[in-house]
């Protein structure tokens, strides 16, 4: 049994269903990557896992417990963390304050966690007194991930973390994601840059029209001729 499972999820934003029975799961110490064409319901699937979308059918379990009915805020308290694609930092607050806000629910001393985040992203330590809004795109993304890590989550969900950053920054960010997974966190990523993301994926999901089309290890998906032709541009 995987740590986080969204099983047979169906639902949408009121109109027609966007998710048509897809299943996505990730285990601790694993990176799961969800890819697929535009409008395949990748981000919607992730939002459903985080409770930002009410499911019509299907359920979500975390560590064996059914959390389908929990609100996003309650899921934060259950050690889930989510990094939205845009507006994912407090622009008018310093880097350090951003991290403190990530740890808002913690009443214990979180300076150790903050030191870990600074170890993971050394540039943030250097810029900790600067406003997050003044940082470059890649650095902001690091602040966003760092903020999410402050709750010491068991699941980290990233919605298109490399959207709008340069290829070099993207490689660096994926490197960091591998380091995060090695600490035993379950990492779930929704990505446009499918090829690079699948390279670091322990498990990859190709969604089409809200359904699972292919599921395999990242390596196997990259080697699959059909997947390559249809979804990775040859």
Partner 1 sequence: MYETFELLNALALMSNFVFVPALSYGSQLALGALGITLVFGILRFANFAHGDLMAFGTMVVVLVTYWLQAQGIGIDPLPTALLALPIGIVVAVAASLAIDRTVFRFYRRRRAAPVIFVVASVGVMYVLNGVTRFIIGPDDQRFADGERFLINARDFKEMTGLAEGVTIKLSQGVTVVVAIAVVAALFWFLQRTRTGKAMRAYSDNEDLALLSGINPDRVVAVTWIIAAVLATIAGTLYGLDKSFKPFTYFQLILPMFAAAIVGGIGQPVGAIVGGYIVAFSEVMVTYAYKKALAYLGPGGWEPEGLMQILSTEYKFAVSFIILVIVLLVRPTGIFRGKVIT
Residue 106: CB minimum distance to partner 1, A? 9
Give least dist CB 22 to partner 1, A.
23
Q: How far is the CB of 109 from partner 1 (least distance, A)?
A: 13
* Residue 104 CA, distance from chain mean position: 20
Phi/psi for 232 (5° steps) reads -115, 10
Separation of alpha carbons 23 and 203, rounded Å: 13
Query: How far is it, in rounded angstroms, from Cα 117 to Cα 114?
Result: 5
| Residue placing its CB nearer to partner 1 in the complex, 102 or 161 | 102
Contact call for residues 10 and 3 (beta carbons, < 8 A): no
Give CA angle at 122 (103, 47), nearest 5°: 45
Q: Starting from the edge strand earliest in sequence, which strands make up the sheet with 4-11, in order? A: 19-26, 4-11, 57-62, 65-66
Nearest distance from C-beta of residue 141 to partner 1, angstroms? 14
Q: 50 vs 214, which CB is nearer to partner 1?
A: 50
Q: How far is the CB of 19 from partner 1 (least distance, A)?
A: 21
Rounded-to-integer distance, Cα 49 and Cα 36, Å: 17
Q: How far is the CB of 87 from partner 1 (least distance, A)?
A: 6
Calculate the CA 52 to chain-centre distance: 14
Q: Which is nearer to partner 1, 72 or 122 (CB)?
A: 72
Q: Which is nearer to partner 1, 38 or 87 (CB)?
A: 87
Secondary structure class of 226 (helix, strand, coil):
helix
Q: Which residues pair with 157 in a beta bridge?
A: 82, 188
Footprint on this chain of partner 1 (rule: CB under 8 A): 72-73, 76-77, 82, 84, 87-93, 97, 100-102, 104-105, 147, 151
3-state secondary structure of 162: coil
Residue in 59, 71, 35, 62 with CA at minimum distance from that of residue 153:
62
Nearer to partner 1, 38 or 73 (CB): 73
Q: Is the Cβ of residue 91 or residue 120 nearer to partner 1 in the bound state?
A: 91
């Amino acid at each position: 049994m995987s740590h986080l499972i969204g099983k047979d999820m169906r639902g949408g934003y009121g109109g027609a269903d966007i998710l048509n029975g897809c299943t996505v799961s990730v285990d601790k110490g694993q990176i799961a990557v969800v890819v697929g064409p535009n409008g395949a319901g990748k981000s919607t699937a992730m939002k459903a896992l985080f409770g930002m979308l009410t499911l019509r059918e299907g359920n979500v379990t975390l560590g064996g417990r059914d959390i389908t009915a929990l609100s996003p805020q309650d899921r934060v308290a259950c050690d889930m963390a989510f990094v939205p694609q845009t507006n994912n930092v407090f622009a008018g607050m310093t880097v350090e304050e951003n991290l403190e806000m990530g740890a808002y629910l913690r009443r214990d001393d979180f300076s150790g966690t903050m030191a870990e985040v600074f170890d993971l992203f050394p540039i943030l330590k250097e810029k900790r007194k600067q406003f997050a809004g003044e940082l470059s795109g890649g650095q902001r993304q690091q602040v966003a991930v760092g903020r999410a890590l402050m709750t010491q989550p068991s699941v980290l969900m990233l919605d298109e973390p490399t959207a709008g950053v340069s290829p070099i920054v993207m490689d660096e960010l994926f490197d960091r994601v591998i380091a995060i997974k090695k600490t035993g966190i379950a990492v779930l990523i929704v990505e446009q840059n499918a090829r690079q993301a699948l390279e670091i994926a322990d498990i990859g999901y190709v969604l089409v029209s809200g359904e699972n089309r292919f599921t395999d290890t990242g390596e196997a998906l990259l080697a699959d001729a059909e997947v390559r032709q249809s979804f990775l541009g040859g």
